[in-house]
Structure 1
Amino acid sequence: MPEAPAAASADSGPVIQAHIRAARTEFESQVAHARAEFEEANERIKARTGRDLILATLIGVAAGALLLGSLIFVKQLFLVFALAAVLLGVFEFSRALVATGRRIDLIPQLVAGAVVVLSGYFLELWLHWVVVFVAIAVVVVWRLLVQMTARDGRTYGAVLGDALVGGFVQLYVPFLASLCVVLLAQDGGEWWVLAFIAVVVAADTGAYAAGILFGKHPMAPRISPKKTWEGFAGAVLAAVVAGVLLGIFMLGLEWWVGVVIGIVILGTATAGDLGESMIKRDLGIKDMSSWLPGHGGVLDRLDSILPSAAAALALYYLFTPLVAS
């Protein structure tokens, strides 16, 4: 009789192990099922929007953390990120243009772009404008001189087009980005930079979510087939709400000023997005590069921010006196 409990304990061991194995198998099955459903949903979203949801989210969160940290703690560190983004954007754009037969001088473009961005932070505004003019002149004259020495029979129209496109690269990427740096250099400018970028991100997120859930009517099918009016409505709502909240709690402005900021930044962000889509359509490409999985290239992420920087700088000069008064 004393040996019965030991025998029962010995018999219960395999039973417990069988239950554990069964529970583990069931758990693994549930995880696999959930993963399959998530991947299926992700593929549907990717097919509809052209983005990989997981990678796009991870990269967006990482970039946002770096941006937030630099602007809050050491705003000069944001200058480093801005300079790197501009140089990568110029490289992407130049490479895409060269692939279509244009002749772009990469080294002068990169050097001139870096000088333009840095001058926006360290020089007076009027000197910055001089630097921008000189940078454009340098890349244009450089292209003409290189073409003169090449003597390869390139037509006059093609040479003129190369020169004009080279100047456009400087205006589109370094110059617009330098306006963001000019804003950064102002007193409290880091909060304005953070605010306008946050509005751009909110508008993009609102458009993305509303487009997925409700999107049926294309907004500009010949330029960007995946954008819908329902998505634009979501962008309007998100941009206005973000503008009001950021205006009140971050910039110390009246609520109506936040509405103006949200609407203006939404307009420039939408124009920048559609404008880059037109450029890519003319170049015959989907993305400027594949360096940022789920997003495309660096310039694909800057398309809405670049023109919005000009609007944000104008809004800063317009509404900052209201805070002082």
Structure 2
Amino acid sequence: MRAGRDLPAAIIVGVGLGLIIVVPLYAARPLWIVVVCAAVSVGMFELVRALRLSGRNVGLAPLAVGAAAMPAVAYVTGVSGLMVMLAVTVLVAIAWRLTSGGDDHLLLDVSAAAFCAAYVGLPAGFTALLSSPPDGPRRVTAFLATAVASDIGGYAAGVLSGGRHKLAPNVSPGKSWEGFAGSTIACVLVASVAMAGTLHAAIWQGMVLGLAVVCTATVGDLGESLLKRDIGVKDMGTLLPGHGGIMDRLDSVLCTAPVAWLLITAFVPSS
């Protein structure tokens, strides 16, 4: 969420997205996996469409299907299945490009296809892995609450302080060091409470998670900003009023998911 957006619409959509995530997560985890698969499939559509604007010949069908399959496979089979599905998706996407004709920019197109699979489908698989243990919903809640705290804390601190000291003006002019400080405080506080209160972890473990998340979330946000700047688009899509597209909401979450899975798995034994 950034200054200049339609804030009331963004809040309404944000609450709606939260309900779409939380209700199936706690009521029926297979349905939660369906939600994740649908979200990453739409996100892949937005990413491929944006890359095509930059001249890349990338196959939508193999990437959208592969991205949707990765969380489901990860949930059922674990890390090994996720890696196999990633490899299958990349190989099928490469085969699609090789059979689509034309040798111009072949290496760039193949690299773009591999990037799409690793950027969207792979981290979504780690989100599914977080939900696999018996206490999976609480693990996912700790992860998502901390990621959301980064966004809200950064937005609030940036607006209240005026955001005078720019973090990366050539990539994302709206990002400021004041906002980053707000994100850090919010992430550490939320992660500490979530880890201690819901997963019975130590406070210091929650603090480590919070510090890790603020870094990965910021990198994810800046990375997509750089990608959009290179392509020449403001948002990846228009599906979510006040937010942009699905990928505009998933950028920091996807970058954070593997690190959150690694830390939460290390800190909290599966019960």
CA shift at 1:274, angstroms? 0.7
1:144 paired residue number? 98
- Match of 2:268, SS? helix
Residue 217 (structure 2) pairs with residue 269 (structure 1): yes
1:168 aligns with 2:115: yes
One-letter code of the match for 1:61? Answer: V
The residue aligned with 1:204 is 151
Kindly state the Cα deviation for residue 286 of structure 1 after the two structures are TM-superposed: 0.9
Identify if the C-alpha distance between structure 1 residues 256 and 124 changes in structure 2 by more than 3 Å, giving closer, same or farther: closer
Partners in 2 of 1:284 and 1:50 — Cα distance? 19
- When structure 1 is superposed on structure 2, of 183-192 and 278-287 the one drifting more is 183-192
Contact 1:207 1:231 in 2 (8 A): yes
The answer to whether residue 156 in structure 2 is matched with residue 235 in structure 1 is: no
Report the secondary structure of 1:227's partner residue. Answer: strand
Matched, 1:159 2:113: no
Q: Which secondary structure state, in structure 2, belongs to the residue aligned with residue 185 of structure 1?
A: coil
Structure with larger Rg: 1
Unaligned 5+ runs, structure 2: none
The TM-score, its normalising length taken from structure 2, stands at 0.95
Q: CA deviation at 1:75?
A: 2.2
Aligned partner letter, 1:82: V
Q: TM-score, normalised by structure 1?
A: 0.80
Aligned residue-pair number: 270
Partner of 1:195: 142
Write the distance in 1 (CA, Å) between the matches of 2:78 and 2:167.
41
- Runs of 4+ aligned structure 1 residues displaced above 6 Å come to none
Give the equivalent residue in structure 2 for 1:185.
Answer: 132
Q: Corresponding residue for 2:28?
A: 74
Conserved? CA contact 1:200–1:265, under 8 Å: yes
Instruction: Indicate the SS of the match to 1:226.
Output: strand
Higher relative contact order (CA 8 A, sep 6+): 2
Q: Secondary structure at the match of 1:303?
A: helix
Amino acid at match of 1:314: L
- Matched AA of 2:128: V
User: Secondary structure of the equivalent of 2:257?
Assistant: helix
Show CA shifts across 1:39-81 (max 9, x none).
xxxxxxx9x7231101001000111122122222222221111
- 1:252 alignment partner, one of 194, 200, 211: 200
* Counterpart amino acid of residue 126 in structure 2: L
- What CA distance in whole angstroms lies between the structure 2 residues aligned with 1:51 and 1:93? 21
Task: Give yes or no for contact 1:109–1:170 (8 Å, CA) kept in 2.
Answer: yes
Does structure 1 conserve the Cα–Cα contact (< 8 Å) formed by 2:71 and 2:127?
A: no
Query: What's 1:284 paired with?
Result: 232
Counterpart residue number, 2:50:
96
Partner AA of 1:252 in structure 2: H
What corresponds to 2:84 in structure 1?
Answer: 130
In 2, are the aligned partners of 1:243 and 1:258 still within 8 Å (CA)?
Answer: yes
Structure 1: stretches of 5+ with no match in the other structure:
1-45
Rounded to whole Å, the distance in 2 between the matches of 1:275 and 1:146 is: 29
1:115 to 59, 62, 69: 69
Identity of aligned residues (%): 40
Contact persistence 1:71–1:191 (CA under 8 A): no
Deviations along 1:293-315, one digit per CA (max 9) or x if unpaired, are 11011000000100111011101
1:186 CA displacement: 2.3
